[in-house]
Every structure is written in structure tokens, then in C-alpha cells.
Amino acid sequence: MQFLSHSIWFPNPEEANEDGLLAIGGDLSVKRLMHAYRSGIFPWYEKGQPILWWSPNPRMVLFPEKFKVSKSFRKTLKKEIFEVTMNTCFSEVIKNCSEIKRNGQNGTWITSEMEQAYIHLHQKGFAVSVEVWQNKELVGGLYGINLPEKKLFCGESMFSKVSDASKVGFQFLVEYVKTKNYQLIDCQMYTSHLERLGAEEIPRKDFMKFLNCR
């Protein structure tokens, strides 16, 4: 495990430990964050911790054509009870992602420092949000890092205040990346929810090939 200095540099992801932790320290500048994502690395840490950088093996990803639409979810889509937008209120989406209560989690990894860093990324055109509305109220959404040059979207977090809202946002993202001929959506870590949507784990070395690096 490496300790980062002020220089914009990361060790080879193959040097990550068994849990996927690769490096500690550095900052959340636009330049460092974008270098990280383009190298298959992302930050993930809690309040009071130093910045921790990860490159897990295996890697959870979704190939857009493998997105699963259940019968019940298909019925939800047909009802057209939600409206979906893109990049209309990024700061509200990331704030909701940081505040939503999740099973098995006492707090959030989206600290105020992280919020500001990703809002800055959005202002620079790198971070994207999807918003889901019901009766003109924001009820779900997601955000992540867009890498059009890699044909890859790096999902960061999503939230839902009503049933299926975040799933509708995710389905919108899947259809969006299909129109752009993207290779995959990076989901980072395994969750059973993502697996039910069609995501799967692949070896880190295979994920790195999609990034055309290392």
C-alpha cells in the first residue's frame, strides 16, 4: 500500500491488498480524481479517515445489454408515473445520496468534502446526475463519472425515496449509455441489488483492459 504525496500519481492497481485498498492520502482535486477513474481507481472513505483509494478484484460491472427488467418493474415503467431528467440538479442528487439511510450502514461515505469535490467535477463536465421525479418531487436519482473517451460510465451512488425510483433512474442510464455505444457501467463493489439488475463480477485485469491502460 502506497502513501500519496502532492504529485498526481497512483501505483499499479495490481498492488492493491486483498480488500482492494491501493493507496492512502493525496487530495480530491479534479486532476487527481479524473486520473484515478481513468486508471480504474476510486476514493472511498468515512469521515475522520484519510482519503482511501481502491481498485477491487473482482470488479462489479454491468454490461448494458445484460440489464435485467423484471415483470414487476416492466409494469412500473408502463405506468409512466415517473419523469426522468439528466444534469438538472446534481447537488441535490448527491446530497440525497449522502443522507439516505441504508441497511447495514450507520453513516455515509459521502462526506461534505466528497460532495464538494464531485460538485466541482460536475461543473467541469465530468460528473453526471440522473434525476427521477414524481409529482414534481425529486424521489430518486444517481450520479457518477462519465468517461466518453473510454466508452465507460463509473457509477458512484444512487438513492430512492419511493419504490423503484432509483431503478428507473438506473434503467434510464442504461438506455443512455447504449445510445453512446458504451462498453459497460462500472458498479465498483458487489451488492445483491446490483446483481439482480444484471451486474456481474469480472477480474480486475479484464476491467483494466476496457480502460486500455496498464
Domain boundaries, the chain: 2-56, 60-211
Measured distance CA(9)–CA(2) in Å, rounded: 10
pLDDT tens digits for 93-105?
999 999 987 555 4
Over the chain (214 residues), the average pLDDT of each successive run of 10 is 91 97 98 98 94 98 96 93 98 95 62 96 98 98 98 97 96 97 97 96 97 70
pLDDT value, residue 213: 56
10 Å Cβ neighbour count for 56?
22
CATH of domain 60-211: 3.40.630.70
Let me know: does 147 contact 38? Beta carbons within 8 Å.
yes
pLDDT value, residue 103: 57
Domain boundaries 2-56, CATH class: alpha beta
Average pLDDT of the chain to the nearest whole number = 94
* Phi, psi (rounded to 5 degrees) for 42: -145, 155
186: nearest Cα among 69, 44, 91, 51 = 44
pLDDT value, residue 106: 47
